[in-house]
């Protein structure tokens, strides 16, 4: 086994959300603002590597995200301890997705390691698939480790019972690029399935330009449900904002 990949597997077992260099508060799957890229046509995913020289890895990288989550190596991984207080959120339409910025001090604890929540945002359909099947939506919680690396928690979303947090976010979401505040405090812990939580974990990339291969992903294996009407409200803003699946290549996919 190559040394780098052996080291990665050992590192994931000890610290499954450690990544490489950080990009500050930039989302792991959504840019901070408008850009020359999109999800279709001449600036769509197939062209991202040509849109900007800095995004060349979108075309040539071999550890890109999202991926199809099928199988996985069974691993005894530490549980996720979410420390996200109920609060009012700024809800931003940033030109690519609906995003909510976190407040300093919100964090997730994985074993003995603590990672600060930067922001979370949404995609339709889900960016990750499970055995080739995509969910209706996916939410990404973007975290920053003490060493400034990025770690992202992904949760699949399916139509069903209403979710109060997502309902409140969509009620506040601007139809055009801009920012608004949620009318009520939101408990975003309800956007994550209840414990016990199992997840697929792998080393990957940002899912938008510049597609930097700097992200440790963990995607929970159980979805949440949200109201069909709230999914429709998101799709009225963004009918589709998911990158195509990328090959796993020789990466390790852990599940535990």
User: Could you give the residue numbers annotated as active site?
Assistant: 96
E strand or H helix that includes residue 144: strand 137-144
Radius of gyration of the chain (CA): 17
CA torsion sign for 234, 219, 109, 30 is negative
Which of these, 219, 222, 187, 218, lies nearest to 83 by C-alpha position? 187
Q: Which pair of tokens denotes residue 145?
A: 């480790």
Give Dmax (Cα) for the chain. 53
**How far is the C-alpha of 135 from the C-alpha of 215, rounded, in Å?**
22
Question: 41: which residues sit within 8 A by CB, 6+ positions away?
Answer: none
Which residue shows structure tokens 């904002």?
241
CA torsion sign for 121, 127, 131, 136 is positive
Numbers of helices and strands, H then E, in the chain = 5, 16
Are the CB atoms for 32 and 94 separated by under 8 Å? Answer: yes
């Amino acid at each position: 086994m190559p040394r780098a990949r052996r080291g990665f597997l050992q590192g994931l077992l000890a610290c499954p959300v450690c990544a490489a260099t950080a990009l500050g508060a930039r989302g792991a799957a959504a840019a901070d603002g408008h850009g020359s890229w999109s999800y279709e046509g001449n600036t769509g995913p197939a062209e991202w590597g040509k849109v900007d020289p800095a995004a060349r890895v979108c075309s040539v990288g071999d550890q890109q995200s999202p991926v199809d989550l099928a199988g996985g190596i069974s691993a005894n991984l530490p549980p996720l301890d979410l420390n996200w207080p109920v609060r009012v959120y700024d809800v931003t339409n940033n030109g690519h997705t609906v995003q909510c910025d976190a407040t300093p001090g919100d964090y997730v604890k994985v074993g003995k390691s603590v990672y600060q929540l930067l922001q979370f945002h949404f995609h339709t359909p889900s960016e990750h698939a499970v055995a080739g099947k995509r969910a209706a939506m996916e939410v990404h919680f973007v975290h920053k480790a003490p060493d400034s690396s990025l770690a992202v928690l992904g949760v699949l979303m399916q139509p069903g019972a209403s979710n109060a947090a997502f309902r409140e976010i969509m009620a506040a979401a601007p139809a055009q690029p801009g920012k608004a505040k949620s009318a009520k405090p939101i408990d975003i812990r309800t956007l994550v399935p209840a414990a016990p939580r199992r997840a697929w974990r792998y080393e990957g990339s940002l899912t938008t330009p510049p597609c930097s291969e700097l992200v440790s992903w963990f995607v929970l294996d159980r979805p949440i449900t949200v109201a069909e009407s709230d999914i429709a409200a998101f799709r009225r803003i963004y009918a589709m904002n998911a990158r195509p699946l990328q090959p796993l290549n020789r990466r390790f996919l852990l599940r535990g």
